[in-house]
């Protein structure tokens, strides 16, 4: 290989591994025969090693926390929107099933109902009415039942107030 044609670019390419065989072998042989080229090549290799071993810059210690805080703030509304969307879908689905069932049952009952109630039906209806009335009277007069009902209401009210207060507190913290 003509040594005069070995440019600095070639030497860099050789040091960087950008020249493949057999050209690389020929270049190495030429370099070993020329002290000036050899010195130049050694110099390039030294710069290359220094470049590769340069220390990376370090951002501030709060960098990760800052990026993650911004990222969480970005994804929070998306996540709650997604949650609302899923909940609404479930709610609408359940509501649709109920509405369809009720309308279906209504049509079934109306379709199968006789035009005029029979005497047997009226007698049975009165009997059922009497039983229901007696049961309702006994429930209204039962004090223990009323007490339990009020206790459950009070517990539900306390749970609701607790949730409301904690939600307000959370909103204040975010603000």
Residue (82 or 106) nearer to another protein, CB: 82
Residue (39 or 134) nearer to another protein, CB: 39
Residues near another protein (CB under 8 A) are 8-9, 12, 16, 18, 39-40, 42-43, 46-48, 50-60, 63-64, 66-68, 70-72, 74
CB of 76 to another protein, least distance (A): 11
Residue (17 or 111) nearer to another protein, CB: 17
Q: Are 11 and 42 in contact (CB under 8 A)?
A: no
Q: Are 1 and 27 in contact (CB under 8 A)?
A: yes
Q: Which residue has the tokens 């969307």?
A: 85
CA separation for the pair 39, 37 (Å, rounded): 5
CB of 43 to another protein, least distance (A): 4
CB of 27 to another protein, least distance (A): 16
CB of 55 to another protein, least distance (A): 6
Contacts 24+ apart (CB under 8 A), 25-31: 26/1, 27/1, 29/1, 30/1, 30/3, 30/6, 31/6
The closest of 6, 89, 76, 69 to 41, measured between CA atoms, is 6
Residue (29 or 70) nearer to another protein, CB: 70
């Amino acid at each position: 290989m003509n040594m005069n044609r070995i440019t600095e670019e070639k030497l860099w390419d050789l040091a960087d591994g950008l020249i493949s065989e057999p050209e690389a072998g020929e270049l190495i042989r030429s370099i070993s025969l020329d002290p000036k080229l050899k010195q130049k090549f050694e110099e390039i290799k030294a710069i290359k090693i220094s470049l590769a071993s340069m220390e990376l810059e370090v951002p501030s210690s709060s960098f990760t926390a800052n990026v993650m805080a911004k990222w969480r703030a970005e994804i929070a509304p998306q996540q709650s929107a997604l949650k609302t969307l899923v909940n609404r879908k479930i709610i609408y689905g359940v509501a649709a099933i109920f509405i369809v069932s009720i309308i279906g049952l209504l049509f079934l009952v109306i379709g199968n109902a006789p035009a005029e109630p029979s005497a047997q039906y009226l007698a049975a209806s009165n009997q059922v009415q009497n039983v229901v009335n007696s049961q309702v009277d006994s429930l209204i007069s039962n004090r223990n039942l009323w007490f339990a009902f009020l206790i459950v209401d009070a517990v539900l009210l306390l749970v609701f107030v607790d949730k409301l207060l904690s939600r307000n507190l959370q909103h204040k913290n975010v603000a």
